[in-house]
Structure 1
Amino acid sequence: MATVTLRRSDRRISPVFLGIVAVAAVAGWATWSGFAEQPGFAVFLFVTAAWIVSLCLHEYAHARTALHSGDISIGAKGYLTLNPLKYTHALLSIVLPVLFVMMGGIGLPGGAVFIERGRIQGRWRHSLISAAGPLTNVLFALVCTAPFWLDALDGVPVTFRYALAFLALLQVTAAILNFLPVPGLDGYGVIEPWLSHRIRRQVEPFAPFGLLAVFAVLWIPEVNVVFFDAVHALLRGLGIDELQSYCGQSLYRFWTDTSAVCSVSP
């Protein structure tokens, strides 16, 4: 890996990111303690803020890996500050993912950091840069599910348990979608360096539409069922049953009446 020197301002954590973390922490405390009169609103704030934190870490992983692979321009672009406002496509990376969570409970992958690939030598490095983001979602999912697969739920309030289950579902869906070998997604970025120049040239025009194509296919009921069956199978392996993630999503969507089916009493 290349050795690089960064200015302190290039790697100083942004107050914007720290503010999002603070919102997640306060909302998480309100969800845990039952302080909020409306537990659904606390869950909404907690999951949304934590989801944005994971998006920032996803993009940071791409940027940090690119930096140490040879793209020394990353620091000057502000990507290492974890500030989502510095991303190339803030709409794709923050706004749309949050809207999709609110509408359908799907972890929308978004690409936002511009990496100067010409500065990077070696196919393995290019693949690792693309894989770093979704691997962050995998790690985040393991953290969220740790109380479940470690059987450490004693004393964890049921509302907070449901919120973690839903947040884990978002991370799992994001990881699966990101790892799909579809042009425009990280999964294709992993395999692209190993493809012939001719194939890459043929595929390149379709990259801007890859994400749209994936979500168009997910609207097909049969595909949607298969996809979420796979997601829930993974979650069951991590100790989370479908009812817990459903109740977490129902509490998150506090503006609907579906939360009434899930008990939040101890």
Structure 2
Amino acid sequence: MTSAATHPDHHRISPVFLGLVAVMALSGWGVWAGWADVTGVAVFFFVVSGWIVSLCLHEYAHARSALGAGDVSVGAKGYLTLNPLHYTHAMLSIVLPVIFVILGGIGLPGGAVYIERGRIAGRWRHSVISAAGPLTNALFAAVLTAPFWLDAMRDVPVAFRSALAFLALLQVTAALLNLLPVPGLDGFGIIEPWLSPRARQQAEPFAPFGLLIVFGCLWIPQVNEVFWDFVDGLLRGMNVSDFDTFVGLEYFRFWEGEPQNVLLP
């Protein structure tokens, strides 16, 4: 008997997601090959498509964890297909985070999947579902930085190296920011099951604005400095230098002019 949890169409990877992966692969090859006069454009498409792919994986992790915990509704909603068009709020899930990347060079997470929490018993399960998303970003960052900490980047083209570093930076910032205990973010979702009903009720009105609150706080110079010092320290621990991420951002913003005659230190 086929159920909502086992229906093959609910688990089949979407052509939309596969298309995003293809764009990422093609633009990544273009960055590596150094397409004349359009390297910055290729970096832009590589980073944006890679960022959207990571958002899809982030939301899939939430949905897959929820399915394992008892919420079979995530299958019928299309969350297990990795199709960003099935997410409940495309603006918050895809468009707004991409705009944040373009404007600020920062990976702010977006809320996307609705979990039917009433189907899930146990506070630990609820916490694990919330933690699954940012942990996916952390894993993606580890994969992207592996060539750096394995010392395998010596002969890699500068543009590709810096694009990979910038995409890794976005994953690190997304993981860190999403783990903040702010209503509406996954960090709050991790601790919410352990709070009193009164505390959860008081926090609920702030949930729709959590993402904007975090973004606003990052405009405070002192907060911004502490945050980026911490991010840069983490990346340096993975052998990704500030120079790598800076050049990646410069390539990404191709409309401002690509960096010229870049030499790695």
Q: Taking structure 1 as reference, are residues 120 and 41 closer, same or farther at Cα in structure 2, changes over 3 Å only?
A: same
Once the two structures are TM-superposed, the CA of residue 214 in structure 1 deviates from its matched residue by 1.0
Partner of 2:229: 229
For 1:12, the equivalent position in structure 2 comes to: 12
> CA RMSD, aligned part only?
1.5
Relative distance call for 1:210 and 1:262 in structure 2 (3 A) is farther
SS of the residue corresponding to residue 182 of structure 1 reads: coil
Task: Confirm whether residue 131 of structure 1 aligns to residue 131 of structure 2.
Answer: yes
Letter in 2 for 1:198: R
Rounded to whole Å, the distance in 1 between the matches of 2:251 and 2:195 is 45
Between the aligned residues of both structures, percent identity stands at 67
Aligned to 1:263: 262
Deviation by residue 1:128-164 (Cα, 9 ceiling, x = unmatched) = 0000000000000001100111111133211110000
Deviation at 1:254, TM superposition (A): 0.4
Q: Is the 8 A contact 1:4 1:68 kept in 2?
A: no
What SS does structure 2 have at the residue aligned with 1:74? helix
Using the size of structure 1 for normalisation, the TM-score is: 0.95
Cα shift at 1:124: 0.5
Q: Deviations over 1:95-126 (max 9, x none)?
A: 01111111110101111001000000000100
Partner of 2:94: 94
User: What's the counterpart of residue 26 of structure 2?
Assistant: 26
Tell me the distance in 1 between the aligned counterparts of 2:156 and 2:46. Answer: 16
Name the SS of the counterpart of 2:73 in structure 1.
coil
Structure 1 residues 190-218: Cα deviation after superposition (integer angstroms, max 9, x where no partner): 00011111111111111111111111111
Residue in 1 aligned with 2:119? 119
* C-alpha displacement of 1:264: 6.5
What residue identity is the alignment partner of 1:186? D
Structure 2 contact 247–259 (Cα < 8 Å) conserved: no
Runs of 4+ deviating beyond 6 Å: none
TM-score by length of 2: 0.96
Matches within 5 A, 1:59-98: 59-98=59-98
**1 CA distance for matches of 2:260 and 2:191?**
44
Residue 52 of structure 2 aligns with an amino acid whose one-letter code is: I
Secondary structure of the corresponding residue to residue 188 of structure 1: helix
Query: Displacement, 1:69?
Result: 0.3
C-alpha distance in structure 1 between counterparts of 2:153 and 2:224, whole Å: 31
Q: Measure how far apart 1:261 and its partner are.
A: 5.5
Query: 2: CA distance between counterparts of 1:71 and 1:174?
Result: 25
Distance 1:147 1:4 in 2: 40
Q: Show the counterpart of 1:206.
A: 206
Supply the distance in 2 between the matched residues of 1:115 and 1:158 (Cα, whole angstroms).
42
Question: What is the CA distance between 1:36 and its match in structure 2?
Answer: 4.4
Q: Which amino acid aligns with 2:262?
A: S
Which runs of no fewer than 5 residues in structure 2 stay unpaired?
none
The alignment partner of 1:151 has SS state of coil
In the other structure, the counterpart of 1:52 is 52
Distance (Å, rounded) in 1 between the aligned partners of 2:182 and 2:63: 21
Unaligned runs of 5+ in 1: none
**Residues 28 and 42 of structure 1 are in contact (CA less than 8 Å); yes or no, is this contact kept in structure 2?**
yes
Cα drift, residue 4 of structure 1: 7.8
Amino acid at match of 1:108: L
Please identify, of 202-211 and 246-255, the stretch whose mean Cα deviation from structure 2 is larger. Answer: 202-211
Q: Is the contact between residue 127 and residue 193 of structure 2 (CA under 8 Å) also seen in structure 1?
A: yes
Counterpart of 1:236 in 2: which secondary structure? helix
